[in-house]
Amino acid sequence: MIQLHYFAGLREQTGVSEEQVDMAGRTVEDLWQWATEKYPDFVSGAARVAVNEEYALPTDVLETGDVVAFIPPVSGG
């Protein structure tokens, strides 16, 4: 399983902060596709994806136990 985290505005759009999906072996782009189908509001988010606390590429392949975070545009400082 893959552990998903949602933050800030994305968490409010999805209504969940965490969930698990069975997408080992699929790519970050596949996950993105899945998320935008499940949560239509995602499209406007312009979010990045982090895998195991590092920004990931769309072609990166997910492995069992990965922790994935959807990172909306950041606004620290």
Partner 1 sequence: MKAFEIVTEAINPQIYADFVLRPEAGAVTLFTGHVREWTKGVRTMYLSYEAYVPMAEKKLAQIGEEIEQRWEGTKVAIAHRIGELQISDIAVVIAVSSPHRKTAYEANEYAIERIKEIVPIWKKEIWEDGEEWIGDQKKKPEGELT
- What minimum distance in Å lies between the beta carbon of 37 and partner 1? 21
For the chain, the DSSP string reads -EEEEE-HHHHHHHS-SEEEE--TTSBHHHHHHHHHHH-GGGGGG--EEEETTEE--TTPBP-TT-EEEEEPPP---
23 in contact with partner 1 (CB under 8 A): no
Identified binder of partner 1 from the candidate list 3, 5, 21, 39, rule CB under 8 A: 5
- Contact between 9 and partner 1 (CB under 8 A)? yes
User: Which positions lie near partner 1, rule CB under 8 A?
Assistant: 5, 7-9, 12, 46, 48, 50, 53-57, 69, 71-77
